[in-house]
Amino acid sequence: MYFIGVDVHKDFSYVAILDKDGNIIKQGKVANNKHSIQKFFSEFEKAKVAIEACGIFEPLIEIFKSIGYEVKLAHPLKTKLIAESKIKTDKVDANVLANLLRTNFLPESYLPKMEIRELRELVRHRISLVRMRARIKNSIRRILIRRGIEIKDPFSKEGRKQLSDLKIYAIDNYLVLLDKYDELINKVSKEIKEKTNNNEDASLLMTIPGIGYFSALLIASEIADINRFHSSKKLASYTGLVPSLNQSGIRKSYGKITKEGNRYLRWVLVQCAHVAIRQDERFMKFYERIAKKSKQKAIIAVARKLATICYWVLKKRKPFNEVYTYPLSH
């Protein structure tokens, strides 16, 4: 058995191959394509591969799997910490990855199936399009401010007419782009709706107040497999919506949320929290109880509660109203 570490770059990777005793058998630079990789590793029949979960690692995973190798995805932050502790280096390169893999110290990241990765790509694509559209709208607003032009709602039907009537060259171009982005977002939204209807996890999540087609598919694809979380607290921690813990001796204090973990889940759960408190009285009461001290902390608490609810809905395979028959304060 050989142990391979892969340090991924844009067009190539540095690789190191170790034997079971840690001796370097082969190392070098290889292009990130199937032909080059197969040729480089042709003499090594049985091997395990460690690739850090950053950059363009996904195509390489599929290539190494097609060769017949077992692939492990290394957690970037944890790998660096363990490398500093065990190997006394702060640089995670191919040799370090191979050594951690060989000694069973490699901290792994979850590697979802291809179909889940494709769903993630779809919902993240919509997020990108919406953000691009928002930048165009902000560019139009800046032009209006510079020219001292006031339009109450520039992107309503009436507002769009007023923008067109201005006959400003830059705004006219931006409006063409805006129409195109609206078209693309509508197209991808229809695709997401179809995928959500055909996804059991997403359909269950839609029974939760505040969660619609887009957010349901995003949450389902980012969680991927609920069984990889041993408790609802583990899922909440993965979202980064849990308070940070400062401990000195026997004293404990809690600070702001960690913001570690999955930023997409954290973002969408906060968005869903704002909708949930408007849609459902139970969520509103839960929010109001905490909002007396801080509205920001209250909305984070609702988002964290949604993460817990998502966990139990997916774990029990039952819709929200069958899982939660008691007040949310429990």
pLDDT tens for 296-322 read 999 999 999 999 999 999 999 999 998
Tell me the one-letter amino acid at 187: K
pLDDT tens for 165-196 read 999 999 999 999 999 999 999 999 999 999 99
CATH homologous superfamily of domain 2-102?
A: ATPase, nucleotide binding domain (3.30.420.40)
DSSP per position, 211-271: --HHHHHHHHHHH--GGG-SSHHHHHHHHT-SEEEEEETTEEEEEEE---S-HHHHHHHHH
pLDDT at residue 327 in the model: 64
How big is the chain, counted in residues?
330
pLDDT at residue 313 in the model: 97
Can you give the pTM of this predicted structure?
0.84
- pLDDT exceeds cutoff 90 at 58: no
Gap between the Cα atoms of 193 and 64, Å rounded: 34
pLDDT at residue 257 in the model: 55
Around 95, how many Cα atoms within 13 Å sit in the side-chain half-sphere? Answer: 12
Gap between the Cα atoms of 138 and 144, Å rounded: 10
- pLDDT exceeds cutoff 70 at 243: yes
Gap between the Cα atoms of 302 and 63, Å rounded: 42
Q: Are strands 2-8 and 47-52 parallel, antiparallel or unpaired?
A: parallel
pLDDT tens for 20-40 read 999 999 999 999 999 999 999
Closest CA to 2 of 25, 35, 32: 25
Q: What are the sequence ranges of the domains in the chain?
A: 2-102, 114-196, 205-323
Higher pLDDT, 71 or 261: 71
Retrieve residue 299's tokens.
């909305």
